Amino acid sequence: MIEEKRQVIEYQLKEELYNWRDDVRPNILGKFDEAEGDMSGGEWSTPNPSQRTLLRANADLTPAIIARAVAKRLKKLGIDADTTARIDAHLALLDAKEKSLQTLTLGAAAERTPWFCSGCPHNTSTKVPEGSRAMAGIGCHFMSLWMDRSTTGFTQMGGEGVPWTGQQPFCTDQHIFANIGDGTYFHSGILAVRQSVASGVNITYKILYNDAVAMTGGQPVGERAEGHSVVQIAMSMKAEGAQRIVVVTDEPEKYEGVALAEGVRVFHRDELDRIQREMREIKGTTVIIYDQTCATEKRRRRKRGTMVDPAVRVMINEEVCEGCGDCGVQSNCLSVEPLETELGRKRTINQSTCNKDTSCLKGFCPSFVTVEGGSFKKKSSSTSTTINPASLGALPEPVLPTINEPWGTVVAGVGGTGVITIGQLLGMAAHMEGKGIVTQDSAGLAQKVVRPGVTS
């Protein structure tokens, strides 16, 4: 019986044929094969039935999987040598095709670990004091797992920090930090905080308020046009029973005169380490709301003129730089790049990717130069070179490769860059030529949603 996922029809057939006489009742197989020797029992009578899996129940069934299962059954029932040889030849062909699809060789230069954007708030907000550890959750901050952030584990959206309620009684750690994004908090994460309060464990939630649902296109948090504010989150946390609530931000001046919930205080992000050290000594559930706008969203708003673009640039004097790398350690920023010189490796700041977070200035280094009030010199229109497309002549027709084996193509990009469009064009072209195609429309951590409703 061939069916995807659970064996529903298979069980129905077995139930229907159960009372037939032994001499006419057929053997019905589907998800599991027969055991060697004694065949009197089914999958429920064996200690580990998964060892005899014939057709998997946890995913789709490809033609290759079905072909292997049918071939296995035919061989077990007994067939002539010529048919067996032809079956083996087809199975070998299937194995070769699958192996060629799974083999992907990348050079060292092509390997790149996913990282926070330049100037991302998570570069600072996901740090924990020495001797503490944190739990990850759903969001860009998940990438702190493979950074030097003492961060482990993750849960489904809305379960951030909840595993600690079961772990704490059985370990020597008395406190933990849990990262939770503002979008996740509004979606269902507030229930995780409520669970931690109810269980009485010692935990500090760091609600990473980035002013936008950054992973899915920068939508405002919540269903209202104005979004879900830090003030509202602080009031909700107060009502839930948090022992202490603190707002940490790169712009504390914007909270001057703002009515916050009773006892809620605002600090600059430079004091984050001190505040976390205080929080981990408090019994019960505490909350840090880290307020800093997503770096990518800042860049987008500045281009649109809806956010002030600070007239400040940070540069490194390579003649003074000694290449210690402390600026990169302090900022965790991708815009701090290595610069190879005659005197060895130094550091430089990529001005085209810099989002002006200026965390690199925290490095203990005299080589930094801050330019305030200046801007890049624009190229003169008289010196720009414009090429007339007509002067290039006709483009040559591409030479199509001869495809006698499986062909794989990877289209890289983020939402709105045409990844799905390119995949669909190539897929339809292959389909029109009578070729079988398999496409995967989304993968990775940068799955964006470009309104209205275009996803990739």
Instruction: Locate the domains of the chain by residue range.
Output: 8-102, 122-293, 309-372, 407-456
Instruction: Give residue 452's pLDDT.
Output: 36
pTM of the model: 0.69
Instruction: Give residue 356's pLDDT.
Output: 93
Identical topology for domains 122-293 and 309-372? no
267: β partners:
248
Instruction: Give residue 109's pLDDT.
Output: 58
Residues of the chain with pLDDT under 70: 37-41, 101-111, 223, 225-226, 380-384, 414-416, 442-456
Instruction: Give residue 442's pLDDT.
Output: 65
Please, what CATH class does the domain formed by 122-293 belong to? Answer: alpha beta
Instruction: Give residue 51's pLDDT.
Output: 78
Residue 198 amino acid letter: A
CB atoms within 10 A of CB 137: 29
Cα(221)–Cα(449) distance, integer angstroms: 14
Domain 309-372 has CATH 3.40.50: no
Instruction: Give residue 449's pLDDT.
Output: 40
Between helix 190-199 and helix 230-240 the angle, nearest 10°, is 30
